[in-house]
Amino acid sequence: MTRSTGAVSLRGITKRFGDGPNVLEDVSLDVAEGEFLCLLGASGCGKSTLLNLAAGLDRPSAGTVHVPGGRAALMFQEPALLPWLTAGQNVELALRLRGVAKRDRRDRADELLELVRLRGAGSKRVHELSGGMRQRVAMARALAQDSHVLLMDEPFAALDAITRDVLHEELVRLRESQKLTVLFVTHNVREAVRLGDRVVLLSSRPGRVAKEYPVGIEHPRRIESPEVAKLSVEITDDLRTEIRRHGAH
């Protein structure tokens, strides 16, 4: 895949809350257009904070954030669907906030639900959907924001292994078909290697870029494949070293 234009640029990012210690310190990171980059690190190292900064939900204490397209779509660990709306209406809400005309929203929502393999599910209420289906609706809602940059904060962490594996395949498919750039936060090393073009390990607090790993494994990948397992062991060993070095738990 040709990558020429940066989709997300973080330069010298430092972040602290109030008078507390730095959560992130001098983090510089570029995500190339069309790249799938996974962020790993111990709990509390600032992964989600970095994602929120990239999304524009917070501002750094120092440094700059640049998303050339002007905005990025953010997908959380919880689907955060409105329970009084149907699946289709949850997607339509994102279209409404984008300024899409009312007469066009229903058809576009149906198209997006079909894109995430939920054809015909637009009339279902949230309580009628499985965990995996809810995350597909959340993904459709993120795509409704019409951004080619997708920020994902452990979106599959609460799902069972089989559902997670299926959604991994769906995400890879959507990434290719929609030409997405993805910045993906996870605690799961194998998930990062299964999905990413590159894995970035953050040190324990304050979070800094400790090491980067290019993933030269061709798709399709399986989470249990020997190539994925081999790189996962290397990254896990380095993660444990970082945790011991900084006394994190």
Q: Average pLDDT, whole number, for the chain?
A: 91
Looking at the chain, the whole-number percentage of residues with pLDDT higher than 90 is: 75
45: in domain: yes
CB 242 within 8 A of CB 204: yes
Q: Is residue 52 assigned to a domain?
A: yes
Q: Is residue 36 part of a domain?
A: yes
How do the pLDDT tens digits run along the chain, 249 residues long?
Answer: 334 457 999 999 999 999 989 999 999 999 999 999 999 998 888 999 999 999 999 999 999 999 987 778 999 888 889 999 999 999 999 999 989 998 999 999 999 999 999 999 999 999 999 999 999 999 999 999 988 999 999 999 889 999 999 999 999 999 999 999 999 999 999 999 999 999 999 998 899 999 999 999 998 899 999 999 999 999 999 999 888 876 644
Give me the sheet containing 36-40, strands edge to edge.
73-75, 149-153, 181-185, 36-40, 198-202, 209-214
Q: pLDDT digit string (tens) for 104-149?
A: 999 999 999 999 999 999 999 999 999 999 999 999 999 999 889 9
d(CA 132, CA 138) in angstroms, rounded, equals 10
Residue 127 inside a domain? The answer is no
| Residue 176 within a domain | no
* DSSP codes, 198-209: EEEEEPSSSB-E
Number of domains in the chain: 1
In a domain, 43, yes or no: yes
Give the pLDDT confidence score for residue 199 in this predicted structure. 97
Output the pTM of the full model.
Answer: 0.91
Which residue, chain included where needed, has tokens 């257009």? 33
pLDDT at 219: 86
Q: How many CB atoms lie within 10 A of CB 4?
A: 7
Q: Is residue 187 part of a domain?
A: yes
In angstroms, how far apart are the furthest CA atoms of the chain? 57
For position 249, what pLDDT does the model report?
Answer: 46
Residue carrying structure tokens 């994925």? 228
Q: What does the alpha-carbon distance between residue 194 and residue 161 come to, in Å, rounded to a whole number?
A: 13
Q: In which residue are the tokens 């900064």 written?
A: 53
CA distances from 207 to 182, 188, 197 (A): 20, 18, 21
Parallel, antiparallel, or unpaired for β 149-153 and 73-75? parallel
Percent of the chain exceeding pLDDT 70 equals: 96
* 204/211 Cα distance (integer angstroms): 12
CATH number of the domain residue 40 falls in: 3.40.50.300
Which two structure tokens, joined as six digits, stand for 208?
């800094």
Is position 142 within any domain?
Answer: no
Q: Which range of residues forms the domain containing residue 221?
A: 1-72+183-249
